[in-house]
Structures are given as C-alpha cells and as structure tokens.
C-alpha cells in the first residue's frame, strides 16, 4: 500500500478531522489513537449485572470518533429502548512500552468519562455470545472531560459520582476498583501495544441506570474534573 505523502491530493476525499481532547491549563491538545474500556471493575457493579467478581479483567474498544466533549447535546441513539450511563475514570497514555513493569510510568493524565451503553442490545449480544459493538460502540457514546496531567502522581482514591437531573445515581470511590490503574495498564499491555494517544475507560461503579431525552448528566471525580452532557429532546 502506498504511503500517505501528507497532502490532500493523496486522498480520495477530505479525511475526517483528528479527534482530540483538551488538556487542563494547557493550549496543547491530546490526540486520540485508540479507546479501550475495562468490562467490569467494581464489585458492586459486577453484582448488579450478575457477574463474577473473581474474573480477570477483560477489554473492549469504542471507536475514536465516539468521543464528545463536555457540554455536548447527545442525540438519543437509534435501535434501543434502554440507553444507560456509566461514569468512569479515564486514563490517558503518554508513553510507549509493552508489558509495563513500573507503576503508572506510562500515564499522561486522567479524565472523567461516561460509557454510554445501549443496554438492551448489549445484553442480547452477550446472551447470544456475540460481540458488544452494537451496545457499546455507537456514535457519541464516549463523553470525556479535559485531561488533567498527573505529573508522577499515582491516583488510587477519590470520590466518583454521576447525577441525572440533579439526583445522584452513582456514588463510589476509586479505591473500590478491583484492578487499579497500574494493574489495568499491565493487563492491557500484555495483549496490545499501548502508545501515546490511547485512552482507557477503567470501569464503572454500581448505580447504572436509564436515560431519557431531556436528561442532563453530570459526572465528577475528586481531583480529576467534571463533565456535563445532555440527551437531546
């Protein structure tokens, strides 16, 4: 396959804009390469979903262009009658290494994310033994706040919350994660090469629930940031 020479003339049509996430207190932007998600990582959520908390972590991906910024009005997705919210800590990768062996060495920063899920489609796929893309990887399904640089810190605790129309739905602490950030990056890098630009959604606490047109969703993680999106009428 011929290499791109970087000019528009080399493309059959204008390529889509690059997906980026703002960085707190910086004029620079974080260019996104891949979006990984941990399937289940809080005991209470595993129980509410009928899973086994002793399982090793597993991962799926969302498309890069599923990312939307805080303040976005998200359309209620087609094909579902059960759109649900999942607030999550998002880890931004800033270094290249396979099989990580030093705690947090490759983490660029952290953000607040919401893993929007077409729950009915996800459950139907799971019961049929099929991939989860229909339930997880749809348009606008990955709202992300601006990234806060960690600068050598290792984030292991902090209140994580999600409110819908001012009412608390999810309320937990990062210390309740079964697999911490270092363990997640280690597990993931044993199967994939983590490189600068990768984002990892690290799992959600209990309290996931349905969303309806007109809802306003506020998500926050102590020491990380805040994220607000709405579901369009």
> What is residue 156's predicted lDDT score, i.e. its pLDDT?
85
Q: Domain residues for 67?
A: 17-101+112-231
Residue 95 included in any domain: yes
Instruction: Please report the sign of the dihedral spanned by the C-alpha atoms of residue 146, residue 160, residue 72, residue 165.
Output: negative
Task: Classify residue 160: in a domain, yes or no.
Answer: yes
pLDDT at site 2: 45
Residue 153 forms part of a structural domain: yes
Query: What residues are paired with 111 via a beta bridge?
Result: 90
Task: Classify residue 23 by its DSSP letter.
Answer: B
In a domain, 4, yes or no: no
Into how many domains does the chain fold? 1
Residue 2 domain-assigned (yes or no) = no
Look at residue 124 and tell me if it is in a domain. yes
CATH for 23:
3.90.850.10
Q: What is the pTM of this model?
A: 0.90
CA–CA distances in Å: residue 126 to residues 35, 116, 150, 175: 21, 17, 36, 28
Q: What is the pLDDT of residues 105-161, one digit of tens each?
A: 489 999 999 999 999 999 999 899 999 999 999 999 999 999 999 876 778 899 999
Summarised one tens digit per residue, pLDDT across range 90-109 is 999 998 655 445 434 489 99
**Share of residues in the chain with pLDDT > 70 (%):** 87
Q: What is the reported pLDDT for 186? A: 85
pLDDT surpasses 70 at 49: no
Does 67 fall in a domain? yes
């Amino acid at each position: 396959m011929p290499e791109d020479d970087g000019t528009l003339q080399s493309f059959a049509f204008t390529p889509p804009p690059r997906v980026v996430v703002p960085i707190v207190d910086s004029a620079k932007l974080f260019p996104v390469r891949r979006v990984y998600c941990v399937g289940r990582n809080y005991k209470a959520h595993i129980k509410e979903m009928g899973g086994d908390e002793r399982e090793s972590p597993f991962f799926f991906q969302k498309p890069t262009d599923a990312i939307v910024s805080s303040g976005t009005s998200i359309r209620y997705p087609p094909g579902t009658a059960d759109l649900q919210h999942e607030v999550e800590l998002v880890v931004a990768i800033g270094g290249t290494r396979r099989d990580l062996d030093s705690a947090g060495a490759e983490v660029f920063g952290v953000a607040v994310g919401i893993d929007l899920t077409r729950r009915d489609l996800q459950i139907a796929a799971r019961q049929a033994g099929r991939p989860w893309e229909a339930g997880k990887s749809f348009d606008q399904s990955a709202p992300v706040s601006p990234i806060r640089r960690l600068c050598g810190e290792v984030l292991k605790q902090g209140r994580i919350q999600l409110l819908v129309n001012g009412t608390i739905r999810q309320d937990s602490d990062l210390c309740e994660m079964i697999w911490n950030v270092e363990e997640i990056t280690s597990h993931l890098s044993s199967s994939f090469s983590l490189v600068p630009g990768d984002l990892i959604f690290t799992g959600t606490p209990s309290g996931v629930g349905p969303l309806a047109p007109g809802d306003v969703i506020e998500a926050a993680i102590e020491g990380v940031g805040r994220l607000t999106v709405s579901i369009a009428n």
